[in-house]
Structure 1
């Protein structure tokens, strides 16, 4: 632990035994970088510090009844105040990089570059400098869902002009930090942000324009990524020499049976959930996937619409978007099994993304995790990586999120088992399928505000004590496991550590 934080050190002992069928000590591929991740809204707190204006999540999380445990992120982990402690935790783990995000309204209080916040911009500059001073590479996400409310008032991601607004925002970030940041992620998980925020009321901004809003957002997100990437490629890459791309949630979808209908349903599901965002960027043809175009057009016609609810790309836009990526940002948690035979009209809102797909998803007989979307089905990670290789031109893949949610506890053997099982499949994808995985990121560094679940769901390899004013953090068993992985560059399934429990 670094000196100078004025925080107590407490010692206790852990004994952790992990067993895995057919697992021996495995060396990680040479050059594979390891990291941990977080997001600004989930950890920073200080929602109205200095001249920061509200984001859509600031307002949404304070709305009555939308967060399951009634909490909000106003205080959260206090990383705005204690960012050096976060860096100390990352350094303690010994990993290569820290993936964090920048809050758009903290840097640009109006949402536009007419005013750049001195305090907000300095906060991220100081964080970046602190990381570099400790030998940690900053991997920066420009947008992790906390849109300025002022831009949402103008339509947010349903307004095509947001691609220009995002380009202007990216320009500011490249100019401020690009001399030190060499890996940029434009937008995190467009499906979750667009589908749950514009196609339902689960996430901010809670528009719930299902069947229309999620598709408007999808196209505008793809265009925003393209504009930011082309700006970087044209104006900044020659002198900054970094990389830039979008990150897409790439959970796997498998047919419930091996029947042709179920296999096709799974392929269509991958197109709807991943290809909607990857196909325009990574394929030679460009534009939205054929299956999505066809199915949405058919359903739109049946429902009496004069044209498809899925917006079209012009030929000029198709060419503009193609290739706007230097790697594939890959988030993965679990797998679902899909079938059209099990689908009944009316299961989902009409119209909607889910009704357009027309398939029912299930976990079959896998035991659901406390957080169902991270139910352990590790072989799905290898299949998802292979899908990216085969459908996206075999790009370099940065695994930007992989993690396991619980309801707490320091001896989180279930999380270690999950992470280890998934890493085994990822290593098989590298060795046996020749997938170009260049980075692996555990989600998340610490417990944080987990969107509509609030504070009750714990993804951190460090526990956050929300009852403590300083939000003290304590490493869990998974943190010591990951620290060993980073130190040895080996996955040891018989690892039996004895640990010191240190508070940060």
Structure 2
């Protein structure tokens, strides 16, 4: 039984449309046992308010709530081979397979932040943020990935940034790994190879040692789900592998093991002297049941277990989610495998991994409906992560969206916050480390972004005040328009425009920058709030 009490506020307008377009109203729960069961399976959805969806929460943000903005090293730095930096996975991928990237773009120059980092920090200072989430380039610090070859120029680059952030009263939230794996480890199997967990722990130890005096909040790994499903399962991102049946799970195994080993390095060797904290960034869309049929409710539970749960459950609750163990195991045996395609943790590994998080970091951009598909005994002989899941996911076409991975569904965000709060043991704080709006036009008049972020922040306040979810921070993605992986520069998520046709990569704040600055200054979504 979960240690927290699940709470929701319902009203007659809090409804969601199911797959057939009918309206499902939240029903009254008869007893506490049913309430707890529902919290573990699929929290009821509520909209952002009991009025129109555009009505914003008029409560002030809590006094301890922190606002921030985020970037990542490969997406903004450029300087891909400058000052001793080694080659990484995305350098190799964009250079070797340019046709896999929109417009054959790459991150060789990106936003040129390797040389323009002072300008970026000035933008952050003028914005008034409390924190800046950035990532370190592993191969800029360790050109061949290992600690026997340290690049002091790379270390100095990050020390300069961290010192300047601190001097401007901006807290750095530092991510050790945001997808730019040193190429040597890709050649050794990448995240398929469990030895990578030990190399990552050594890299983390070095970073804790040389940067720890400036950093109080560490994030080990960014979005392992996206790495494993997109990079190693369906080939949508580097390294572009198509091993959905086994690769996703082996990648997940190595990622959570690497995170845990890095966490213990900090816990045992640095926490007492540096007094910082460590977590991992997990990403997920919210999975809403397509109907109130038991099989669709189970489908939503299953979708969450295979997306977020595959990574969160070992860290917070111990071991893989049971439904993942059962489904992958059953299909593996029916396919003729001698054992499950899902790697098995040893009892020692379960204990090593469980509890390795000081707070919960959440990235999210969208919501989908989940509908049951009977794949348990179907398509046997074709090992596949999505067939293991047995869920059809789809979006409501009425939801506002420009790209296929971002949609305006604030009630889904609120439900996801509730789910994290109630599903995982030991979560006493949630920090939203990425959320933002994507468009494809480089416009300064980005009112759609203001609408998206304001409604998501309103849903966050609803979760905090109405549901008792202790969410203490929000980080908009992104500070800058940047290299969006295989989408190149065709998708814009920045609150600051970057002119990629200008060799100087000129920055120009958008309307959303000024709007966000105002929200931070008054700590309120409206011109005035009730508290």
Identify whether the pair has TM-score above 0.5, normalized to the shorter chain.
yes
CA drift at 1:415: 0.6
Q: Could you say what secondary structure the match of 1:425 adopts?
A: helix
Whether the 8 Å contact between 1:83 and 1:127 is mirrored in structure 2 is: yes
Partner of 1:9: none
CA distance in 2 between partners of 1:281 and 1:441 (Å): 23
Whether the 8 Å contact between 1:43 and 1:448 is mirrored in structure 2 is: yes
Partner of 1:306: 338
Partner of 2:94: 61
From 354, 369, 372, the equivalent of 1:322 is: 354
Partner of 2:393: 361
Whether the 8 Å contact between 2:335 and 2:381 is mirrored in structure 1 is: no
Is 1:149 aligned to residue 164 of structure 2?
no
Partner of 1:190: 224
CA drift at 1:21: 3.7
CA distance in 1 between partners of 2:79 and 2:328 (Å): 42
CA drift at 1:68: 2.3
CA drift at 1:493: 7.1
Partner of 1:224: 258
CA distance in 2 between partners of 1:238 and 1:86 (Å): 32
Whether the 8 Å contact between 2:192 and 2:254 is mirrored in structure 1 is: yes
Whether the 8 Å contact between 1:201 and 1:207 is mirrored in structure 2 is: yes
From 19, 22, 29, the equivalent of 2:55 is: 22
Partner of 2:7: none
CA distance in 1 between partners of 2:407 and 2:54 (Å): 19
CA distance in 1 between partners of 2:218 and 2:148 (Å): 23
CA drift at 1:354: 1.1
Is 1:115 aligned to residue 115 of structure 2?
no
Whether the 8 Å contact between 1:366 and 1:375 is mirrored in structure 2 is: no
Is 1:379 aligned to residue 415 of structure 2?
no
Whether the 8 Å contact between 1:348 and 1:354 is mirrored in structure 2 is: no
Change (3 A) 1:321 1:99: same
Q: Could you say what secondary structure the match of 1:75 adopts?
A: coil
CA drift at 1:335: 0.5
CA deviations 1:158-214 (Å, max 9, x no partner) are 111111000000001000100110000000000001111111221111122221111
Q: Unpaired runs of 5+ in structure 2?
A: 1-51
CA distance in 2 between partners of 1:111 and 1:398 (Å): 29
Change (3 A) 1:368 1:352: farther
CA distance in 2 between partners of 1:348 and 1:373 (Å): 30
CA distance in 2 between partners of 1:86 and 1:458 (Å): 17
CA distance in 1 between partners of 2:141 and 2:57 (Å): 47
Partner of 1:7: none
CA deviations 1:51-94 (Å, max 9, x no partner) are 11111111112213211232111111000011001100101100
Change (3 A) 1:430 1:339: same
Change (3 A) 1:443 1:418: same
Partner of 2:161: 127
CA distance in 2 between partners of 1:467 and 1:231 (Å): 44
From 78, 81, 84, the equivalent of 1:48 is: 81
CA distance in 2 between partners of 1:476 and 1:105 (Å): 32
Change (3 A) 1:69 1:344: farther
Partner of 2:309: 275
CA drift at 1:434: 1.0
User: Mapping of 1:118-267 within 5 angstroms?
Assistant: 118-267=152-301
Whether the 8 Å contact between 1:197 and 1:203 is mirrored in structure 2 is: yes
Is 1:451 aligned to residue 504 of structure 2?
no
Whether the 8 Å contact between 1:43 and 1:73 is mirrored in structure 2 is: yes
CA distance in 2 between partners of 1:349 and 1:369 (Å): 37
Q: Could you say what secondary structure the match of 2:445 adopts?
A: coil
Whether the 8 Å contact between 2:98 and 2:105 is mirrored in structure 1 is: no
Q: Could you say what secondary structure the match of 2:431 adopts?
A: strand
From 127, 145, 154, the equivalent of 1:93 is: 127
CA drift at 1:342: 8.8
Runs of 4+ in 1 over 2 A off after TM superposition: 19-26, 341-350, 364-368
Change (3 A) 1:489 1:299: same
State the TM-score, normalized to the length of structure 2.
Answer: 0.87
CA distance in 2 between partners of 1:386 and 1:175 (Å): 36
Partner of 1:340: 372
CA distance in 1 between partners of 2:286 and 2:372 (Å): 17
User: Mapping of 1:70-109 within 5 angstroms?
Assistant: 70-109=104-143
Whether the 8 Å contact between 1:445 and 1:460 is mirrored in structure 2 is: yes
Q: Could you say what secondary structure the match of 2:56 adopts?
A: coil
Greater Cα offset, 365-374 or 402-411: 365-374
CA drift at 1:20: 6.1
